[in-house]
Amino acid sequence: MNLSQNKLALELKLPARRINEIVPSKGKIMPDTAMRRAKYFIISTEFWLGLQTDYDLETAADEFSDKNNSEVGEYRTG
């Protein structure tokens, strides 16, 4: 795909900075950006938001160390 970050920003009518921050994972795919990408690439908004959610969960899992895992108890009935 021959599409620069700047060209994508222009096509989506977004500031180039928003695209430039998403690519190296410094920024998040916000709902309005997801809707614009969905329309432009003819892919669902949920796809784009799902990518962001997957990334967020992986990042959180990496940060949730074994120490934190052992400190958090489990709910038990009775």
**Alpha-carbon distances, residue 12 vs 5, 36, 39, 41 (angstroms):** 11, 6, 9, 10
User: How much is the pLDDT for 63?
Assistant: 81
* pLDDT reading at 10 higher than 90: yes
Digit-coded pLDDT (tens) for 40-68: 999 999 999 999 999 999 888 888 876 67
The rounded distance, in Å, linking the Cα atoms of 27 and 24 is 8
Q: Quick check: pTM over 0.85?
A: no
Measured torsion, CA atoms of residues 60, 26, 45, 43, in degrees rounded to the nearest 10: -110
Half-sphere exposure of 72 (CA within 13 A, CB side): 6
* pLDDT reading at 23 higher than 90: no
Q: Specify the residue for token string 């400190």.
A: 71
